[in-house]
Chain A
Amino acid sequence: DTEVTQTPKHLVMGMTNKKSLKCEQHMGHRAMYWYKQKAKKPPELMFVYSYEKLSINESVPSRFSPECPNSSLLNLHLHALQPEDSALYLCASSQVNRVDEKLFFGSGTQLSVL
């Protein structure tokens, strides 16, 4: 199994809603990542988890709250989002967070905030 699975594929939410994005991998990878991608732009790193601990937070607003409950699962909790947060949210994983490691990406969650 070389897949990173993201759910849901599409999400529409209001600015007062609370929702969560889920990412799962069963490759035994110990580094997991959240990226945000706006249309026609490259992905932007949001968070990195290494061995289930948050190792990088790229100054992401607190309305985005990551969680890594175990080595296979990564969540992104969303609360009080703004319309400008509408984007494709990509999850990725690698064996460890090291420069020579290949990244495996999920197919993303397309988020629309109304």
Chain B
Amino acid sequence: KNEVEQSPQNLTAQEGEFITINCSYSVGISALHWLQQHPGGGIVSLFMLSSGKKKHGRLIATINIQEKHSSLHITASHPRDSAVYICAVRGATNKLIFGTGTLLAVQP
């Protein structure tokens, strides 16, 4: 079992839909990152959380430390949101542990 699990692995949505991607982890962490990667491309850091909730534009990230769970929400989704979304945690070893990613396709 991976230390960082994401669900769903694949997600197809219609433009305008509200999207939720979930991340559960089994290790103690100091910070959790949500990353976005377009096909064949580099990675963009969306959020870094250690508690609570953060919002940036149409993106919202929440974390529940007690439950070891985080969610990434996209409101009013758009085709340009189509990408792989990766949850990664940084724990005692100070190394990033990556989830396997969620492939999101938003159709017009």
Binding site for B on A (CB under 8 A): 4, 6, 41-43, 45, 56, 88, 90, 92, 97-100, 102-108, 110
Return B83 CB to nearest CB of chain A, in Å: 13
A-B contact count (CB 8 A): 49
Which of B57-65, B66-74, B96-104 has 4 or more CB atoms under 8 Å from chain A?
A: B96-104
Return A102 CB to nearest CB of chain B, in Å: 5
Contact A102 B48, CB 8 Å, known A42-B86, A42-B100, A97-B94: yes
Out of B33, B41, B50, B91, name the residue touching A108 (CB < 8 Å).
B41
* Chain B residue at minimum C-beta to C-beta distance from A41: B100
Q: Could you say which residues of chain B place their CB within 8 Å of the CB of A100?
A: 30-31, 48, 50, 90
* Chain B residue at minimum C-beta to C-beta distance from A42: B98
Interface size class of B (residues with CB under 8 A): 20 to 34
In whole angstroms, how far apart are the Cα atoms of A107 and B43 in the complex? 7
Return A42 CB to nearest CB of chain B, in Å: 3
Overall SS of chain A's interface: loop
Binding site for A on B (CB under 8 A): 30-31, 33, 35, 40-45, 48, 50, 86, 88, 90-91, 94-96, 98-101
Q: Could you say which residues of chain A place their CB within 8 Å of the CB of B98?
A: 42-43
A108 touches B45 (CB 8 A): no
B42 touches A105 (CB 8 A): yes
A107 touches B42 (CB 8 A): yes
Most buried by B among A6, A56, A103, A106: A103
B42 touches A108 (CB 8 A): yes
In whole angstroms, how far apart are the Cα atoms of A13 and B53 in the complex? 45
Q: Could you say which residues of chain A place their CB within 8 Å of the CB of B88?
A: 42
Most buried by B among A4, A41, A42: A42
Out of A41, A43, A107, name the residue touching B41 (CB < 8 Å).
A107
* Chain A residue at minimum C-beta to C-beta distance from B84: A40
